[in-house]
Amino acid sequence: MSRRPVDPNQSFPALEEQILGRWRERDVFRESVRRRQDAKPWVFYEGPPTANGRPGSHHVLSRAFKDIFPRFQTMRGRLVERKGGWDTHGLPVEIAVEKQLGLSSKAEIEAYGIAEFNQRCRDSVFEFLEDWNALTERIAYWVDLDDAYRTLDPSYVEQVWGAIRQINDKGLLYEGHRVVPYCPRCGTALSSHEVAQGYQDVVDTSAYVRFPVVDPGDSALQPGDALLAWTTTPWTLVANAALAVHPELEYVRVRVTGRPRSEAIPKGDAAPAEPEVVVLAKALLDRVIPTTKPGPENAPVPSGVEYEVLETLTGAQLTGARYTPPFGYIAPEDWGPRGNTILPADFVTADDGTGVVHTAIAFGADDYALGTEAGLTIQNPVGLDGRYDERITDYAGQKVKDVDDQLVEDLRRSGALWLGKPYEHSYPHCWRCGTALLYYAKPSWYIATSKIRDRLVAANEQVTWHPEHVKEGRFGKWLQGNVDWALSRERYWGTPLPVWRCDDEGCDHLHCVGTFDEIQELSGQELPDPHRPYVDELTFACRQEGCSGTMRRVPEVIDVWFDSGSMPFAQRGQTLQETQAAGRWPADYICEAQDQTRGWFYSLLAIATLLQQPDAPDADGTVRATPTTVRALPATPHEGAATAVDRELAGVDAPAGAERRAVDGDTAPGDGDGSGGTATLTASGTALNPTPPFRDVVCLGLILDEHGQKMSKSKGNIVVPWDVIDRYGADAFRWYFFTSKQPWDGYRFSTDAIGEGVRLFLRTLWNTYGFLVMYENAAADSRASTADEGLGDESPSALMDRWIRSRLSATTTEVTERLEAFDVTFAGRAIASFVDDLSNWYVRRSRRRFWEGDPAALATLRECLLTVSQLLAPFTPFVADEIYDNLDGTEPSVHLTDWPAAGPRDLELEAAMETARETVQLGLGARGQSKLKVRQPLHEAVVVAADRERVAIERLSDIVRDELNVHELRFVDNADELGSYEIKPNYRTLGRRFGKAMPQVAEAVAGLDPARAAATVRAGGTVGITIDGADHELSEDDLLLRMEPLEGYQLEREGSHAVALELQIDDALRREGLAREVVHAIQAARKAAGLEITDRIRLTLDGAEELLASAREHEAYVTGETLAVEVEYGRVGAQHHSADVEEQELRVGVLKA
RNA sequence: GGGCGAUUAGCUCAGUCGGUUAGAGCGCUUCUCUGAUAAGGAAGAGGUCCCUGGUUCGAAUCCAGGAUCGCCCA
């Protein structure tokens, strides 16, 4: 048997390229799945990336983690299908294409043509597909890319439609009017996920504005009192509909003399100068009207203003008063009966502003909710283009954000302005185009997820998160605060919302289509492509009785997160139920970065939970749940109209009668937690907890650069994955991610950090493997002996073999358990620790046996490396496969083998070795202190150890003697001859027993005679102490013994365990030491002569007489060590090697024999 | 502003149930071993365990508040 020679300087990247070729040739990935065809599936879902950008290092991270567990489970015997996937729709794609085409508005896109535009989008989403595929293969992420799902495929889109239809048939789809973050440039609402990416610090003009009371109504206000309200969006003042106060907050009526100076509007005082009465929250008085000294940073500057508090009122005493709005563009009566009055609202706080909140119901979520609750009529003077309409006569056609300052100036002129000042804050902007977002009430399509909030929470309960805290923390909290899913986007490149609306205004019938067949049947037309604009062309006659309208598709497409959240079934072209029946749902494992918490992790969970809801009894595709039917119902502040809808929806699921009342009871307004309106479905008979779509999820952290900065293109601190791969290889890249730290903590990443891992682990492993191959090839005889030979033997070599096998078993068990628990870090570190033991203890201690071709040693090392190659296969698939292939090769790849089972362990031997190694460590420490080289043999080492320790060290005494280079090991039971004991109290046992009295115990222990106390407890006796007059007995466990060294001995100690060296060297020892020096010199000469390790030599020695004499005396040793077939003294040839041994000269001649 | 997480040696990270003198690797200094190894071993230098307060006989560890950093949200 001959193995491929191993190059110690093997380039890993080059090796990996070779192995990739082998995998392709042997079709290893496919074969690994094929072989498990009949096995129980272990389900993995690939969260689809978009391929319209180049993959980066963070993608290597997630792909490494997506790879490792499927590989492991495949070896464990499971069928792990790995279907790749691509996310292909969405606004980012559109924006990129818009830039390419130089388009900047929706009107321009439509002029360009939706068909052509979408074609461009379709082309662009696979622009970097080749890069992705190449990187994926190169880092050994085994995933089926040939059969990858794509969210734009008709079969995929159809299943997304099916899911929406199912959700509709459960009564959970509705069209709502709600305030959404809206980009006037892109012309669409943004999801919270998108908004989050666009916060920027900006300076806006903020204004404190007077709202003079004209009719106090039932309130305690006086006509002419001016409420002060604060806004950072003056452009919304033109649409002021009401003022909001908290009913329980304290407000004050204040008589003010003098005027604050306005920083933003420096054109003069904001007149009039007479004393006036203003009203605001008591708690904010000092910040809004500071009179004496400058207030906190954001407070207006005082300018001789003085005030007198006339009266303190609660918010409730203010409500009902009617006031004059600052602008007259919209008549108060247009808002309805409660327009331009003071309304109570729980969301008002005294944290900032004035405690009186200007409410523009079309431009804020709280505002809208309040408006709905108060029955105000919506008036929205701002168009979808972000410009005022003709109602705002002076500013019609202007962009709202542009006229903030002019509006404030108008207020100053009219006397309504109390104070204007610049205000710096973080405000959301469109994450792609940078336009400031408007919060804007508009119709939009929603899924009533807040209604199933408790079911989402229950599903999450069954998920195991890694790290654990995400479950109750970030993700759990997010579910608790669930709001309805804003599903629609008024865009082009996405899955079209499959809802058709009757164009007869009086009818307004809505139908949700669930399949392509259905729409083709209804319309009698072919659907060539489910995307816009083709799908928009399919229309059909309204089915409503007496209606002659035409059903046309609504213009919206859907949120891309709904696409990706549908992947468990849509990727298979099946419904969720079919997928479940096929055993491919739920997933055993998914993995993405933490930023997916509210992205993919949520969309998967939400869709799965939604689809497990029961159908409404009369489900026929009609969209019934529209907010138009429920407008007058009250709502809680934070969820606005959606909550009102929920109440209506609750009736759909609840069968009838009593249970329905129960649901209504649950949703009574004002139940205080801000989530009222969430009806639990357990009330409607679906008591079983929903199944979550994934069982285990690993949540990866972010990759930071070496300075802890987030990597970004703009900072230029991106680590390009190919650089790492070309330099260190994919195994090293993966190994770094797996073992350097817990993956969710994030990485401080640099190319150098990876190099360290290579040197410490991969190189060590590689050298150990190379070592084995070298000696296997060198051993002349074929090895018939089995690895089991000598087991049970107490010889040092048998003990070493048994020890490393036991360690191997321990490692196998540990790695298996950790990987089953999704803990890569400690699994990897266990392997690293084993490889370290293997290389730096087993191999080092067994070198001579390898040299001699000991079959047991070769077999043991081979077995260890083979098992390591299997354990390592999921981590570093290349090097693992190379080792396996060369050492065994029975299967075409290590990745086709079954996961190794752990062998027996010998715990006693493992512990004994531990002790022996500690003893060696102590002895070497003593050596170091003594300044005597280890090459110089010594007579004796004295080891202080008793009982088990002594037995352990004795058992392995050959090893200890050899490591310390001493002739004898002498044991002493106690330290009397070497040092004295020190005793200390064991806080762990005594602390529990004595508690508060512990300091006295410590004192009492310190007062004991250490030698006698130690002797007593070691003999199994007890020692008495007296605390507060009470006697207590201390046993061996209660005292910790420590060695104190005695003068004159070279001693190292650790706990109760010590090693002393006898330092006297007689002539015989000295000559023995010199003989070793001579051997050392000869070996150096051999190496210098470039001889192979197996070459025999003719040896000649000359030089100092003492050295030659020492060599003569130990000639058998010298020639044996150096493979000399003959040796001659006193003469060397011209070709010789000179060495200096303790300042004496030695000349060495070596000739190949 | 809120939520979540982090903070331990120059750097990267461990640290179990609260327990004696807080560890490892890298890097640095000195020594040492070696016919697999750019490796190994020993010693040394290097610590306000982010800060403050609390609980406790005892806190890196538990609690509260704060600081800084990161992420998510507003």
> pLDDT digits over A537-582, tens only?
999 999 888 888 999 999 999 999 999 999 999 999 999 999 999 9
Looking at residue A24, what is its pLDDT?
A: 96
> With a 7 Å cutoff on the CB, does A934 touch strand B?
yes
Confirm whether pTM is higher than 0.95. no
The Å distance, CA of A520 to C1' of B40, is: 75
What is the spatial distance between Cα A245 and Cα A370, in angstroms, rounded to a whole number? 11
Contact A263, A270 (CB under 8 A): no
Residues 1065-1084 (A) near nucleic chain B, CB < 7 A? 1076, 1079-1080, 1083
Smallest CA-to-CA distance from A1122 within A1133, A1107, A1130, A1111 is with A1111
pLDDT 10s digits, A210-246: 999 999 988 888 898 999 898 888 899 999 999 988 8
What is the spatial distance between Cα A921 and Cα A942, in angstroms, rounded to a whole number? 14
Contact A312, A250 (CB under 8 A): yes
- The CA distances from residue A923 to A282, A880, A920, A932, in Å, are 78, 37, 5, 12
> With a 7 Å cutoff on the CB, does A661 touch strand B?
no
Q: Which residues of A94-103 are buried (b: 16+ CB within 10 A; e: fewer)?
A: bbbbbeeeeb
Tokens 């070279």 belong to residue: A1050
**Calculated CA dihedral for residues A110, A115, A117, A121, nearest 10 degrees:** 140
What is the spatial distance between Cα A238 and Cα A235, in angstroms, rounded to a whole number? 6
A557 - beta bridge partners?
A: A489, A496
At residue A52, does pLDDT exceed 60? yes
Contact A387, A399 (CB under 8 A): yes
- The CA distances from residue A120 to A8, A89, A101, A154, A336, in Å, are 52, 12, 9, 18, 48
**∠A938-A942-A948 over CA atoms, to 5°?**
135
- Mean pLDDT across the stretch A914-942? 81
Q: Of A122-126, A755-759, A786-790, A1010-1014, where does mean pLDDT reach its minimum? A: A786-790
Residues 667-706 (A) near nucleic chain B, CB < 7 A? 702, 704, 706
> With a 7 Å cutoff on the CB, does A778 touch strand B?
no
Better-predicted residue by pLDDT, A557 or A260: A557
Residues 418-477 (A) near nucleic chain B, CB < 7 A? 426, 469-470, 473-474, 477
Query: What phi and psi values does residue A578 have, to the nearest 5 degrees?
Result: -65, -40
The Å distance, CA of A627 to C1' of B10, is: 64
Catalytic annotation, pick one of A49, A67, A87, A204: A87
Looking at residue A616, what is its pLDDT?
A: 82
> With a 7 Å cutoff on the CB, does A712 touch strand B?
no
- A710 a catalytic residue: yes
Would you state the structure tokens that stand for residue A15, as one six-digit string? 């090796």
Residue type, A945: A
> With a 7 Å cutoff on the CB, does A1041 touch strand B?
no
> With a 7 Å cutoff on the CB, does A1039 touch strand B?
no
What is the spatial distance between Cα A543 and Cα A549, in angstroms, rounded to a whole number? 9
Looking at residue A927, what is its pLDDT?
A: 78
Catalytic annotation, pick one of A86, A335, A561, A899: A561
Residues 585-624 (A) near nucleic chain B, CB < 7 A? 594-595, 597-598
What ipTM goes with this model? 0.92
The Å distance, CA of A72 to C1' of B34, is: 38
**Closest nucleotide to A984, Cα to C1':** B20
Would you state the structure tokens that stand for residue A778, as one six-digit string? 């060198």
The Å distance, CA of A343 to C1' of B29, is: 76
Contact A52, A124 (CB under 8 A): yes
Give Cα A649 distance to the centre of its chain: 37
Better-predicted residue by pLDDT, A283 or A841: A841
At residue A682, does pLDDT exceed 60? no
**Closest nucleotide to A1084, Cα to C1':** B35
**Closest nucleotide to A923, Cα to C1':** B42
**Calculated CA dihedral for residues A811, A815, A821, A823, nearest 10 degrees:** 110
**Closest nucleotide to A701, Cα to C1':** B71
Would you state the structure tokens that stand for residue A745, as one six-digit string? 């903590």
Q: Which three-class secondary structure state does DSSP give residue A542?
A: coil
At residue A955, does pLDDT exceed 60? yes
Would you state the structure tokens that stand for residue A720, as one six-digit string? 């390009």
Looking at residue A630, what is its pLDDT?
A: 28
The Å distance, CA of A195 to C1' of B6, is: 26
pLDDT 10s digits, A738-756: 998 888 888 877 777 788 7
Nucleotides of chain B touched by protein CB (<7 A):
3-6, 11-14, 19-21, 25-26, 31-43, 56-58, 69-74
A446 - beta bridge partners?
A: A174, A486
Catalytic annotation, pick one of A600, A735, A744, A803: A600
pLDDT band at A809; cut points 50, 70, 90: very high
Percent of residues, chain A, with pLDDT higher than 70: 86
> With a 7 Å cutoff on the CB, does A917 touch strand B?
no
- Mean pLDDT across the stretch A150-171? 95
Catalytic annotation, pick one of A571, A580, A596, A1050: A596
Looking at residue A783, what is its pLDDT?
A: 46
The Å distance, CA of A561 to C1' of B11, is: 41
DSSP state of A795: S
What is the spatial distance between Cα A357 and Cα A337, in angstroms, rounded to a whole number? 19
The Å distance, CA of A625 to C1' of B25, is: 62
Identify whether A533 is preceded by a cis peptide bond (ω within 30 of 0): yes
- Whole-number average pLDDT of chain A: 82
Smallest CA-to-CA distance from A222 within A322, A289, A150 is with A322
